[in-house]
Amino acid sequence: MIPSLLVIDDEPTVRLALKRFFEAKAYRVLESGTASSGLALFQQEEPEVVLLDLKLPDGDGIALLDQIKAHNPEAAVIMITGKGTIESAVTAMKRGAADYLTKPVDLEEVEVLVAKTVELLQLKRVNRYYRSRAKIKDAGRPIPGECPEIKKLNMMVDLLAENPHTTVLIQGESGTGKELVARAIHGKSIRWDKPLMDINCAGLSETLLESELFGHERGAFTDAKALKRGLLEIADGGTLFLDEIGELAPSIQAKLLRVLENKCFRRVGGTRDIQVDVRIVTATNKDLSKTVEKGAFREDLYYRLKVMPIELSPLRERGQDVLLLANLFLEEFSRTLKKPAKTFSPEAQRLLLAYHWPGNVRELKNVVERAMILASEEIIGPEHLPLELQAVAPKVGGKAETYPSLEHMERDYIKQVLASTSGNRSKTAKILGISRSTLQDKIRKYGL
Ligand SMILES: Nc1ncnc2c1ncn2[C@@H]1O[C@H](COP(=O)(O)OP(=O)(O)OP(=O)(O)O)[C@@H](O)[C@H]1O
Ligand SMILES: [Mg+2]
């Protein structure tokens, strides 16, 4: 790294002397004779170290120090003070200056100070790097599961954690763990100690959602008695999780697109652009591409969101993970409900594996909680599971246990045909070779 140095002093001779001296020592030297151009140069170039004169033609050095610190609290500023201004030097140190020098400037002395400051900065950087690595390591655990889909998912989560600016779109059926994934992405990234704000886009009216997201100025509308900061501002440095993104109103879609493209927005009723550094994570349990086709969701926003898409597989496609999760929840509920540890009987395990879990992991969690409460003995059997699970394979005696019953097969078959005809009963009855009214009875009987 070539350290860069900004000299802000109104005396050209001082600037020249420092410039020559430090350039000879392989520093990059920038210089300015006024406070205003000095600040502009600082903001533009972000030099490692600033040598700042206390007295400048267009303002005093202390005020400029404050402005520099406001822009970057970690900036290293060494004050240059004239004779008899030691008090100001003390003030400067209190306001965050790294050190101070007195005029006339002794070049050897400056060099020692600047070198020390640069070294300290580098140490801080290295430290911060290791600290952030440690954070990534222990904040946020992997998503539980061992099937290939979940393994792949955890790799994606880690990749996204290491790319804290990338936008994420999480798609999956209800209860598959979309929110869990959003939290893991935030918790494993270097944003972990900044806020994770979330909001459900389907829950609020358009105007309310807009002011929740972007905030509003005082007097923006009748009820806006005071300025309100939106979630984007509150989440600055962190993550904003937008659930049910497909429900977002078109006007807000446009504003969100601007946030993604320019990292800025305006409060409702505001005229000033506000810059924020927020990662946007979105989720939906619908097929967003269909919403785009219907014209209810902007195509440009859709492509912007799905730079990194995550598809969460339904629980019924996760194989043995059903048991892994069920056991995990058993332990969890035995802890939180303060009940002795329990296990599932082989028959109960078979039902858990065979059931189609329309409510996915959330449903499984509820089923386990219920079983934990119902089972008085140590073993959880089919009788402690809800009826819809027991119905998966009605109990038959002896070896036939492994075969589904005729009724069960009939139910499944009717269901399949109904699905293939999109629920058209006449067509279904025709395919099955039964009358419409018989079909009607069976639909009622099996609760299809
Ligand atoms: N792989 C998993 N391991 C452990 N718990 C999980 C897993 N997936 C989901 N859960 C748990 O299941 C419940 C539902 O998950 P979550 O709220 O993240 O689902 P969702 O996809 O956001 O659902 P919805 O679409 O209804 O909002 C939560 O209690 C969550 O902790
Ligand atoms: Mg959710």
| pLDDT given for residue 433 in this prediction | 85
Question: Which CATH number goes with the domain that contains 433?
Answer: 1.10.10
Rounded Cα distance between 52 and 62, Å, is 9
Question: Which CATH number goes with the domain that contains 342?
Answer: 1.10.8.60
Span from the CA of 316 to the centroid of ligand 1 (angstroms): 14
Q: Residues 398-413: pLDDT tens digits?
A: 444 455 667 777 888 8
Q: Which atom of ligand 1 is nearest to the CA of 143?
A: 1
Span from the CA of 181 to the centroid of ligand 1 (angstroms): 8
For residue 355, give the nearest of 325, 310, 312 by alpha carbon.
325
Residue nearest to atom 10 of ligand 1 (CA): 177
Residue 435 predicted with pLDDT over 60: yes
Q: Is 385 in the pocket of ligand 1 (CB under 6 A)?
A: no
Span from the CA of 180 to the centroid of ligand 1 (angstroms): 6
Residues 348 and 429 in one domain: no
Domain that holds residue 239: 148-313
For the chain, the average pLDDT equals 89
Pocket perturbation via mutation, ligand 1, pick of 149, 171, 176 by most ligand atoms within 8 A of CB? 176
| Residues with a beta carbon under 5 angstroms from ion ligand 2 | 179
Residue nearest to atom 13 of ligand 1 (CA): 362
Q: Residues 130-155: pLDDT tens digits?
A: 555 554 444 578 999 999 999 999 99
Rounded Cα distance between 14 and 65, Å, is 19
| pLDDT given for residue 1 in this prediction | 58
Confidence of residue 347 (pLDDT cuts 50, 70, 90): very high
Which amino acid, residue 170? I
Residues 262 and 280 in one domain: yes
Q: Is 176 in the pocket of ligand 1 (CB under 6 A)?
A: yes
| pLDDT given for residue 417 in this prediction | 87
Span from the CA of 50 to the centroid of ligand 1 (angstroms): 50
Residue 68 predicted with pLDDT over 70: yes
pTM of the model: 0.62
| Total number of domains in the chain | 4
Question: Which CATH number goes with the domain that contains 12?
Answer: 3.40.50.2300
Q: Is 428 in the pocket of ligand 1 (CB under 6 A)?
A: no
**Which neighbouring-strand residues pair with 5?**
29, 49
Helix 360-374 and helix 321-336, axial crossing angle in degrees, nearest 10: 50
Residue 297 predicted with pLDDT over 90: yes
Looking at the chain, the whole-number percentage of residues with pLDDT higher than 90 is 63
| pLDDT given for residue 258 in this prediction | 95
Residue count (the chain): 448
Rounded Cα distance between 364 and 175, Å, is 9
Q: State the Cα angle at 333 between 331 and 335, rounded to 5°.
A: 70
Residue 389 predicted with pLDDT over 80: yes
Confidence of residue 44 (pLDDT cuts 50, 70, 90): confident
Residues 301 and 384 in one domain: no
Q: Which residue has the higher pLDDT, 218 or 311?
A: 311
The answer as to whether 291 is a domain residue is yes
Helix (H) or strand (E) holding 185: helix 178-188
